[in-house]
Chain A
Amino acid sequence: MKKILSGLFAAALGCLTVPAFAAGDAVKLPSYDWSFEGVFGTYDKASMQRGLQVYKDVCAGCHSLDLVAMRNLLDLGYSADEVKAFAADYTVEDGPNGEGEMFERAGKPSDYFPNPFPNEQAAAASNSGKAPPDLSLMAKARVGGPTYIRALLTGYEDTPEGLDIEDGMYNKYFPGHQIAMASPLYEEAVEYSDGTPATIDQMAADVSHFLMWAAEPKLEARKSTGIKVMIFLIIFTLVMYAAKRKVFAKVH
């Protein structure tokens, strides 16, 4: 019986590992330490704030962030006033007003990050035919998630001999290596307001951290709920096990 149970358990686990194999042809990613990994993982607010700066100053020129609203930035440790001020830096088209006219106004915390292009065709047209993807879910939509993003941003190399890829468009970690985005980061591309030196590696780490939050904003709530649920379930299961042993003790 025990053998059968453990056999079937192994069988189930075996099935579970299959999707990992299905991922296929990606290059092996480096391993990084992320504060949000692990049982008690939480986001690093300072890193996310720096990451927001990288997104705003570098990525946002081409990439939208459709699913994130300014009000969500409260999660990054900003005060309500800071978020208001941040949102007010943007100009948003609103309307129609009473006269039926569209008008422009300062951004509010309830606004979403504006799209750099009016539509996908315009985005494709300004980027040699390939529209830059939305970044809201990027950290969940690629194998490796934030690790993949960070590796990709630092993975630009000279094209190896014999490959027909334009210089600057070879990326070690991009599937197929020919990437349509030239390296977006260069040393000191942003000036961090907390004084952290803006190396390429630092910016890649920060913006990946920020994008992980953008994709999975409830991660901290999820893990802390999980701890409480596990404590309850362990006690519940032990009590049930004791009760089961007691009830069955009289049998035979």
Chain B
Amino acid sequence: MSFKSNNKVVQWVEDRLPVISVMHHAIYDYPMPKNLNYLWNFGSLAGFALVTMIATGIFLAMQYTPHVDMAFNSVERIMRDVNSGWLIRYIHMNMASFFFIAVYIHMFRGLYYGSYKAPRELLWQLGVVIFLLMMATAFMGYVLPWGQMSFWGATVITNLFSAFPIVGESIVSWLWGGFSVDNPTLNRFFALHYLLPFIIVAVVALHLVALHTVGSNNPLGIDSKGPQDSLVMQPYYTIKDLFGIGVFLLAFSVFLFWAPNYMGHPDNYIPANPLSTPAHIVPEWYFLPFYAILRAIPDKLGGVLAMFGAIAVLFVLPWLDRSSIRSCKFRPVARIFFWIFVINGLALGYLGGQPAEGIFVIASRIATAYYFFHFLVMLPVILPMIERPRELPSSIHEAVTKS
């Protein structure tokens, strides 16, 4: 490392623990492609959301009581009597949704520009691990207020594991810590909801190490060929990320201050009641596409496998897409099917929120089939046969100066 400082204290620390040079290379003179568009803001936005969730969550944990008789009222006490408690709790509630919005856009950006392709396979896979951990964390967090949707959501989702042959029932009672969703379940969900975000932080650290090893992809999907193709992080991308955070927070604040319960469900303001099942049990919006896949399969085990398969397929995506061209900018056919895939994903989200009856069931099955068709047939088999990619520019610098 070529880092040298005139400050004696800094140099003394640096000679014994190279933490300053590591930070310097990571967030100061780290080179990034000069042609990144605003879709590349969503990684830092997701990181910002994660930190916000942890910061607000720690304060909520100081006031929350994980007991079936007290959890609901302890949340209401936060809303009513704790100084600024309503603000902290609403930030936590709404930032959970905005975290998913940022991560979904981040993922779709990766899909469009082929950010999962060599040499970024592990970077992508670590991202899928983060996504899985996020879903587990969000699911357990939603159980904590112990409202009707908390309780019945927990019951439905944990029951899924009973679909596995032989071990299923044992797994479910092991998850519950008893014979139904009850106090032990709430206690362990609280413990895990506090633990998992820090594991996410650890995987995010690995995600960043991998990123800084292979470098960011860019809208052209071609490699940087030298300093003329790149900009250093500071000040270029620090300022761009700060601008992005400003816009993100503006959108977030509209919900936080004027519609804080818009993305929630009214039933969760009814205390959990094991004797009264809500008319529709619906998960949070960010789970709806996967919920639709789960319900699309008529067989319980099949549904569970399809739901997990929908994420597993992302894990092996780098080897399913065989095109050597990364960016859809130069893949005229893949680009069309990317948008069809996006629309299909939205349709799944819509269908996940509908009752499982009539036309919705048929539509869910078609959309689920298409989801897997896209990854298992379209990308590896059909596209290589029918697509003639356009010619790639010779360098980022040339492409940028030409336009």
Contacts and interface: CB of A to CB of B under 8 A. Distances in A.
Given A1-B39, A4-B112, A240-B243, A21 B350 contact: yes
A217 to B, nearest CB: 6
Interface string A14-45: 11101101111100000000000001000000
Nearest to B112: A4
A230 B236 contact: no
Nearest to A228: B257
Interface string A174-196: 01000000000000000000000
Contacts of A165: none
Contacts of B187: none
Contacts of B250: 230, 233-234, 237
B316 interface: no
A103 interface: no
Contacts, number: 144
B214 interface: no
B104 A12 contact: yes
A20 to B, nearest CB: 8
B210 interface: no
Contacts of A72: 80
B342 A7 contact: yes
B271 to A, nearest CB: 8
B279 A25 contact: yes
Given A1-B219, A8-B39, A19 B285 contact: yes
A229 B240 contact: no
Contacts of A218: 79-80, 86
A193 B266 CA distance: 34
B102 to A, nearest CB: 9
B354 interface: yes
Interface residues of B, number: 62
Contact of A229 (B105, B257, B355): B257
Contacts of B265: 19, 22
B76 interface: yes
Given A18-B349, A233-B249, A252-B401, A142 B266 contact: yes
Contact of B257 (A5, A175, A215, A222): A222
Interface string B224-250: 000000010001100110110011011
Interface in B265-287: 265-267, 269-270, 279-280, 282, 285-286
B123 to A, nearest CB: 20
A218 B261 CA distance: 13
A12 B104 CA distance: 8
Contact of B38 (A5, A137, A233): A5
Interface in A70-102: 72
A5 to B, nearest CB: 6
B253 A229 contact: yes
B164 interface: no
A18 B349 CA distance: 7
B288 A15 contact: yes
Interface in B340-363: 342, 345-346, 349-350, 352-355
Nearest to A41: B258
A240 B41 CA distance: 14
Nearest to B339: A7
Given A24-B279, A252-B401, A12 B270 contact: no
B331 interface: no
Nearest to A143: B266
A216 to B, nearest CB: 8
Interface of B: 34, 37-39, 73, 76, 79-80, 86-87, 90, 97, 101, 104-105, 108-109, 112, 219, 231, 235-236, 239-240, 242-243, 246-247, 249-250, 253, 256-258, 260-267, 269-270, 279-280, 282, 285-286, 288, 339, 342, 345-346, 349-350, 352-355, 400-401
Enumerate the 10 nearest inter-chain pairs by beta-carbon distance, A residue then B residue, closest first: A226-B257, A237-B246, A141-B269, A240-B243, A22-B353, A218-B86, A18-B353, A137-B269, A22-B282, A1-B37
Interface of A: 1, 4-5, 7-8, 11-12, 14-16, 18-19, 21-25, 39, 66-67, 72, 133, 136-137, 140-143, 145, 175, 215, 217-218, 221-223, 225-226, 229-230, 233-234, 236-237, 240-241, 243-244, 247-248, 251-252
23 contacts: A4-B39, A5-B37, A5-B39, A7-B342, A12-B101, A15-B101, A15-B104, A15-B288, A19-B262, A19-B264, A19-B282, A22-B265, A22-B282, A67-B73, A215-B269, A222-B86, A222-B257, A225-B87, A230-B253, A233-B250, A237-B249, A240-B243, A243-B243
